[in-house]
Structure 1
């Protein structure tokens, strides 16, 4: 016992005592600052020097007690309170782990600390040192742990967090202060265990306040606190979000939804900083994605999407069930949610490679979504995910599905699909141009696919295609050479059908350019005040015609009219200059851009339409500036061995030829270079490209071009001694030159004189004469009798022996024997002569009669006859085809119309049932092209229905598609003969006079197919009553060509009526009485006398009962098959989630 006392005495003697002789309290009132402050500073210095655990605590009791006095804690001097706080912090340090104060005193002391610490950032440098000392001491000693036993400790800790984060809003807050504040806050959370949710709010609020300035100390401290205390805060954060989400998730009001959106935004912000803090929060969001409330479900889905798309996110791996729930929202019943879901897939795809296969398959499915908005956005995001993507990661199959959407029924989808296809091609064009194998294989096909859309014939599709081509396939490029090389690269990649589409676009553009130039002249007349009332009406009609080229006709018409009545001379001139074909590329763009800028100022509503109008007419794809570069590319060496260089040369030649046909004015200034190529041909074996260009240019301006003597001499040598192709082209050039009717007379005479089968270069001679006949027919008039006689009696009567056992029905023209080519060319010569004489010249009647007699006789030359005679079968096919085409062409002119009687017209229809497929194909395509361009009479629509039994499905499909587009949308005009009714009337008349027509059941079933084919192409719910009325009118008429065959027409009339009824039943169309009046073709039918005769005819059924029964049985079977297919489809339908 004594030993312990001695030891304690020794320990006490080793402890340091505070030696402080001053009093810091006044006896009656507080000491003045100048007296008190030195004492406090001295005390602070002495306390600071004392070490914890090595001080006699009894020596501290007086100052410890005095420091809690109101005189100190409530002192008005900031310096006094700052130094006093430091002293109190030292007292707590020296007394640790116990404090020499009551709970009430501790509460006052810590509030005093908080008050001082709130001064950070507001004090001067002298005060800062004491405040930092206080902060550092509290952090190091962990003094705040003491308050864990206090009641309502949150009243102290809450202001601590509040004041620390306020101080942290100052960007210049020192780093060491931040560290200490962060330490204190983490100590409070870890050790004090405060339960105040307000602290969670204060911490999380920093991520909202300083989202745009994440380097601010408050943001950094909040992030650090959350990171260190994540395990403790997870439950509280979950409770915080749970309270918010539950309070507003069942409400649909605007304010509640805004609060919900704010909470989800905060979740996103927290995830970006401390994702671990959301461990228990994300399952709450997952449940929200399953709720029935659409707004809540969408907000939750968007939130998770943003979390998944973060580059450093691993949420999909940590929470696979949440990923699965989110992924299931792709089939949400809300369209806008499916759209938003797809939009979020872009960044997920780019930032998380592991998700690519799953997302890709989903996007493929969404391209077939029932809603157009979803399909459109699916197309859009494919373009976004492939932008900047490595070529090896591009999925060609995905692009092919986008390509399919360019044929979508909805315009919005087509627009986005084409934009995506075009933008991807544009982005990787450099690699394609360099002929990189992977780029060409994956993307080189895009222009080919886009040009295929030309064949839809839909105005909105063509407008979208036009915009896509100019924006992405042929984008703006001031470098003429690069732009020309791109043009060649694109055209070279096209297949033959798509090259025709490219040609069609250029030619449509040229025709619209002509029309728009006429519109410009209208505008100029309007400005000058020269427009009459009649012209105003005519102008409106013309503007309606222009507007018909666009999908939105009313809007286009209004834009054209608004520009017309605007009478702005400056802008009219700009419009004129923006479509001039003799301007170069930069001039066109400069005028166009200036015009659009001007319209934006006072006619903004018309800008989009006028942009489309100008693009339709402006020669931006091919233009004057590219001619020189194309000529250079076309001269690259060409040989038997196909190389990339020689292929580009051939493509350049084809483009040059098209420009010479469509825009010959662009060649002005380049003629010298073209003629130089012809003159440099020393051996008469080259220069065909130049000849071809010059020939086209000559045709564009006949009778006006003059050439020097040397060039004419060279051209004449081609005619006499050149190849057939050279003679042909040279004759075109010479026949169209100025004063050709005089200067070429001797040449034509020498070619015509003494024509015989032994004539040297007979094919070349006939070819040249054929061109002279077309362009200078007056030169051939003196010799035409001899030529006709030679063709008829010598050429066509000379048999062409077949030297092959197979003797095929068709071979290409180039593979025909020389004599066959001579016959074809001889016939063409006669046809060209009549063609050239159609207007001004009057050929002798016997020449017309003889030529048509030859043509009709050629239709009787059959392949069977050739096989029997052992003559060339393919020759007869070419001659039948050529004769058929010539008859159609010539009888389009008024002068020769009498040569096409009704029986002969019906005879012409048999060409479409020729034994040779190529004859049928070529003649059908000839008719379709002529009808589409209105170069032949609409009567020929009826001929095409004779193809109903065409065995080649591809040709039948082509004809059906053409007829559906051309005829089904035609308007029915009251009291007028229309294409629609005349086609049906002519078809029935054709069938009634067909040599195979009988009323046996078998034959009638065959003929029913013609009517079915017609109805499948033409009939709609809108016109079916009209068609039925036409058929009834036929039954009230008699055949004007052969009255004895009237019954055949009545049989076909009854058959058509029955088939129309079946069609209506099958399609659920009403068949109402047609109220209008129609007059049938007078050359075909004449009305029966009214009364008994008509009644008898109408009441009588001309169809055999056996046929009716068989037709009904067939229709029942078809209806049953249709119902069966419908039920299968219905069973396989899946309901969207």
Structure 2
């Protein structure tokens, strides 16, 4: 097809500052106009093409292609080459024959490259570059593989056979490797990679020169890709590692740059290159690798963060490098910056989610340690990550025993976090328990099976935390119920302390001050919306099912906000509902759990711990639940199974079942009369002939289940055990325990008989007698099973005396005074009441410890506390300095328990001060923690209870100071105060302040020693 003739086509639009080009213009003027047009086209983007299509067609006419001037033809070729780029992928040249003529014209103009000295050489180079630009711009998905290969075959020889590769040409190729071009045109990106791979030998020296100028000399380049230095290095390394052999070692200097941003960019680049799958760069460049590892300790937080962020890739793709990475993460998990510590946690957990097999135990230990981080958000990330791993690999894939064994500690670690006092931590543990450890969405039978298996596999500390979790949630539910009752009283016009309830409730939520405001707002909603109030009341009612609880929570949350846009108010209400909603336990759940435990005890279900151990732990779970959800046990089928447990030969199982009946059997006569009548003979037999614990709980169970007939029932038991109250009887110990509990429960009915029993049998015939000679041992303490029966009887006898007095609650006949004098004598005689020397050291320790614990128990009752003399108090206090470690330990724990319950008088807190003499450092630290806990408890109590102000002298911990002086400094007070001067008060105050500010001369740099 012949080319279109030249002329003046209508409506040709020219770019700004460009003049018309046509046949009637002279050669020199035409060249000037075409140069301007070529320059404008070269700088033009692809978004400006439509209006110049007529101009593009005008240039591709016979007049310009056959022009006598080489310069005109070259300039027109340059313009047309840019036209292809600007209009890509659809050029304005539609006719195939016309397109062929255009390409032939462009090829002819490349002859200008023959002579570098020729004036047209520069223009021909432009065509050369434009040709490459054309290829990269026109390639598209419509092209077959054959066409793409043809393009490559045409482009490769032009580079490999050239004497030189210009920077402009290099830029034309490299620009396709960087963003945004890389993403916008994937085919051009792949074409550039293939071209570089095939021409690597030819372009290598030019690439090295380009990078050397930038990296080493710092020479600025006019290249348009010079600002993408590190991105190019990464891409070129992916294409051909040999291309950068001389460049990579120079990055070591950049890693040590004084510029933070430069170190950060190089660190990110090397982290990507080293961590890529199948990368062998770390092996090939050990010096560079070691230099990179050094950036984990960079002074810049940003650089350290980049290093840690890429740790995940190393863990997943390079097991040979993991050891080096672990060494660095070991340090970084203790980084002073929380962002770095958080990245350590995220890196390990993300890697674990993708491929848990690549995670070493040491990496898991890092996460385990971060669950104790000082920052809550890091603790939360670590705990949630571990919990999701547990849910994924243990709950959803229980057959994978290898992984299950490695993650078995996670459940314990989650519950250990409940020992944190902040509401945020506790709420997090509760949420994890309900969603990951035992998902509440599971069917009831499966959910209870998971709960049973979880509880029976927890360690001791986790079990305590689990039980505390149940009690804590129950306390919040009770608080909410009181709040609703107070609110309803207000609505009926009766005064009730609603605000006080809100303040108490806010303390159970994160950020109590803000939570208080949110609860006030929620309180307003409850006042106005009866339906919301009904739903909240249903949540804390005793008959709420798991399904009802879930529905009620959803309905309340719909009323308070939009889940998609969670406001602080919405979050606070949601946190409260999560704490109180019984989504795990209801009557159906308890039935399923009792049934499952029944199958475990009977051996129908295999468990790893053994039938009895798992059965006992399952009953401990039921016991914990019975104290919080007693109405859920109120089914005859449940009580029938419990009655079966009660008759079990295993003493522990029957004892635990007795305790469950104590918690749940108060309405047994009304709700389950058959169980009510069947239970009594079993309880009577147990109270008479069971072991010590069984007897105790059987009598307590009788007093609760048979509350209206307890006197007549216990009278029969009393008469029976009274006959066995002699050392020769097989039920001697049981009889002592039984009589003590009966006397406490029914003091009036048995007062006369008990006084005779106490004075004759307990004191004279037991406590004041030493019938056996103790075996001589050097140890100051030994295990419970090694204690002689006589010493066991004496220990139980002292407990019985205390229970008898606690039932009487008075000093009738000086019974309490005599008992306190007896206990005091046991203590000052170091356990040997009559000082006959027949009792060995371990049993003496038991006796004086028990005497001290009994005095503490009596001191909890005001009527007895005032009877304790100064000498008795001092002797009791000195037990914390006892020569036997176990006596010191157990006495301090008993003392702490009484003080934390606010039952012991304030002066007993001063006893802790004597523990400063303890030779064991750990004991001193433990007692110090006891002291801190008690001070905190009392101050918090005073804040929460405004009415307690009247008792401030017995509650405020500061008032223990006089008692501490009494115990520790009494011998210096008289000399100092005997001649009181006006300056004494100011002098002592100044001295105390100076002491607090002065460093201890024994350890002036020791922070712990100087912490006051």
TM-score, normalised via structure 2 length: 0.78
SS at match of 2:336: coil
Alpha-carbon distance in 1 for matches of 2:867, 2:505: 36
What is the aligned counterpart of 2:203 among 219, 228, 233? 233
The equivalent residue for 1:1095 is none
Three-state SS of the structure 1 residue aligned to 2:772 is coil
Q: Is structure 2 residue 351 aligned with structure 1 residue 354?
A: no
1:885 aligns with 2:853: yes
Q: 1:185 aligns with which of 149, 152, 155?
A: 155
Q: What residue is the counterpart of 1:298 in the other structure?
A: 264
Hey, what's the Cα distance between the residues in 1 that align with 2:161 and 2:833?
Answer: 112
Partners of 1:353 and 1:643 in 2: CA distance: 34
1:199, CA displacement in angstroms? 3.7
Of 280, 285, 296 in structure 2, the residue corresponding to residue 330 of structure 1 is 296
What is the CA–CA distance in structure 1 between the aligned matches of 2:248 and 2:822, rounded to whole Å? Answer: 89
Which region of structure 1 is more displaced relative to structure 2, 158-167 or 672-681?
672-681
Residues 98-137 of structure 1 mapped to structure 2, 5 A cutoff: 107=74, 122=90, 127-128=95-96, 131=99
Q: In the alignment, which of 824, 833, 845 is matched to residue 795 of structure 2?
A: 824
Q: 1:666 maps to what in 2?
A: 632
Using the alignment, how far apart are the partners of 1:866 and 1:211 within structure 2? 96
Q: Report if the CA contact (8 A) 1:405-1:413 is conserved.
A: yes
Deviation per residue, 1:576-606 (Å, 9 max, x gap): 4555565454544444455445544287113
Q: Which residue of 2 aligns with 1:501?
A: 465
Aligned pairs (5 A) from 1:757-776: 757=726, 761-776=731-746
- SS of 1:766's partner is helix
Give the equivalent residue in structure 1 for 2:827: 859
Question: Hey, what does 1:963 align to over in structure 2?
Answer: 931
Residue aligning to 1:645: 610
What is the aligned length? 930
Give 1:923 deviation, angstroms. Answer: 1.5
Structure 1 residues 108 and 874: alpha-carbon distance in aligned structure 2, compared to 1, 3 A threshold: closer
* Residue number among 673, 683, 695 corresponding to 2:659 in the alignment: 695
Asked if 1:517 is matched to 2:487, the reply is no
Q: 2:331 aligns to what?
A: 365
Structure 2 distance, partners of 1:490, 1:1037, is 66
Paired residue for 1:678, among 632, 640, 643?
643
Post-superposition Cα deviations, 1:441-477, rounded to whole Å, max 9, x if no partner, equal x432344345444555455554555555555444555
Please list the CA deviations of residues 612-649 of structure 1 after superposition, one character each: whole Å capped at 9, or x if unmatched.
4444445567766653444345443589x995333333
Cα-to-partner distance string for 1:244-302 (whole Å, 9 max, x where unaligned): 89999999xxxx9x998766455555555566665666567655443333334323332
C-alpha offsets along residues 1009-1054 of structure 1, whole Å, 9 cap, x if unaligned? xxxxxxxxxxxxxxxxxxxxxx99x96589xxxxxxx99xx99999
- The whole-number CA distance in structure 1 between the counterparts of 2:426 and 2:571 is 16
1:943-974 alpha-carbon deviations (Å, 9 max, x no partner): 12222222344333311222244438986999
Give the match for residue 95 of structure 1. none
Measured at CA, do residues 309 and 451 of structure 1 come closer, stay the same or move farther in structure 2, by a change above 3 Å?
A: same
Displacement after TM superposition at 1:925 (Å):
0.4
> Are residues 1:987 and 2:946 paired?
no
Which of the residues 755, 765, 771 maps onto 1:794? 765
Is residue 601 of structure 2 the alignment partner of residue 631 of structure 1? no
- One of 501, 514, 525 as aligned partner of 1:555: 514
Q: Does residue 409 of structure 1 match 2:374?
A: yes
Q: Within 5 Å, which residues of 2 pair with 1:1087-1106?
A: none
Aligned pairs (5 A) from 1:690-1089:
690=654, 692-699=656-663, 702=666, 705=669, 707-738=675-706, 739-744=708-713, 746-751=715-720, 756-757=725-726, 761-781=731-751, 783-789=753-759, 790-806=761-777, 810-838=781-809, 844-860=812-828, 862-863=830-831, 868-871=836-839, 874-967=842-935, 977=953, 979-991=956-968, 1061-1066=994-999
Matches of 1:930 and 1:827, distance apart in 2: 18
1:446-457 to structure 2, matched below 5 A, reads 446-455=410-419, 457=421
Unaligned runs of 5+ in 2: 8-53, 943-948
3-state SS in 1 of match to 2:775:
coil
**Partner Cα separation in structure 2 for residue 630 and residue 1059 of structure 1:** 60
Task: Answer whether contact 1:144 1:188 (CA < 8 A) is retained.
Answer: no
- CA shift digits 1:644-676 (9 cap, x unpaired): 33333332222222222344333233x533444
Say whether the 8 Å CA contact 1:945–1:987 is kept in structure 2: yes
Which residue matches 1:51? none
* Equivalent runs, 1:420-431 vs 2, <5 Å: 420-429=385-394
User: Residues 460 and 951 from structure 1, CA distance in 2 versus in 1: closer, same or farther, beyond 3 angstroms?
Assistant: farther
8 Å Cα contact 2:6-2:62 kept in structure 1: no
| Shift, 1:363, TM fit | 0.4
Q: Measure the CA separation in 2 of the matches of 1:1059 and 1:642.
A: 62
SS of residue matched to 2:627: helix
* Deviations 1:1036-1090 (CA, angstroms, capped at 9, x unpaired): 589xxxxxxx99xx99999999787445210xxxxxxxxxxxxxxxxxxxxxxxx
**2:294 counterpart SS class:** helix
CA shift for structure 1 position 941: 1.1
**Match in the other structure for 1:165:** 136
Q: Which residue is 1:546 aligned to? A: 505
CA distance in structure 2 between the aligned counterparts of 1:335 and 1:25, rounded to whole angstroms: 66
Q: Kindly indicate whether the alpha-carbon contact (under 8 Å) linking 1:157 and 1:194 is maintained by their aligned counterparts in 2.
A: no
SS at match of 2:373: coil
Gaps of 5+ in 1: 1-22, 32-75, 89-99, 1000-1030, 1039-1045, 1067-1114, 1127-1137
How far is 1:202 from its partner? 3.6
C-alpha change, 1:79 and 1:241, in structure 2 (3 Å) is same
Distance 1:952 1:177, change over 3 A: closer
Quote the Cα distance in structure 1 between the aligned partners of 2:842 and 2:274: 69
Residue 563 of structure 1 deviates from its aligned partner by 1.9
Q: For the residues of structure 2 that align with 1:947 and 1:621, how far apart are their CA atoms?
A: 44
Offset of residue 356 of structure 1: 0.9
For 1:963 and 1:341, locate their aligned partners in 2 and report how far apart those are by CA, in whole Å: 44
User: Compared with structure 1, are the counterparts of its residues 1056 and 81 closer, same or farther at alpha carbon in structure 2 (3 Å cutoff)?
Assistant: closer
Q: Does 1:394 align with 2:359?
A: yes
- Report how far residue 679 of structure 1 moved: 5.4
User: What is residue 621 of structure 2 aligned with on the other side?
Assistant: 655
Q: CA deviation at 1:437?
A: 5.7
Per-residue CA deviation, residues 158-213 of structure 1 (Å, 9 max, x unaligned), is: 33223333322x43234443333333333333345675544444433434355446
Cα 1:709–1:204 change in 2 (3 A) is same
Change in CA separation of 1:114 and 1:247 when aligned onto 2, cut-off 3 Å? same
Structure of higher CA gyration radius: 1
When normalised by structure 1's length, the TM-score is 0.70
CA contact (8 A) 1:718 1:730 kept: yes
Does residue 1:156 correspond to 2:127, yes or no? yes
* Distance (Å, rounded) in 2 between the aligned partners of 1:434 and 1:939: 58
Partner of 1:96: none
Q: CA deviation at 1:898?
A: 2.5
Deviates more, 1:217-226 or 1:752-761: 752-761
| CA shift digits 1:346-402 (9 cap, x unpaired) | 1133122222111111000112222232223223322223334454x5332343344
How far apart in 2 are the matches of 1:432 and 1:864? Answer: 60
Q: Which residue number in structure 2 is paired with residue 66 of structure 1?
A: none
Partners of 1:887 and 1:112 in 2: CA distance = 107
Distance 1:982 1:205, change over 3 A: same
Q: Of 341, 347, 370, which aligns to 2:307?
A: 341
Kept in 2, the 8 Å contact 1:425–1:472? The answer is: yes
Closer/same/farther in 2, CA of residues 419 and 879 from structure 1, 3 Å limit: same
Please, what is the CA RMSD of the aligned residues? 5.0
Give the Cα–Cα distance (whole angstroms) in 1 for the partners of residues 538 and 220 of structure 2. 63
Q: Do the aligned residues in 2 keep the contact of 1:795 with 1:823 (CA within 8 Å)?
A: yes
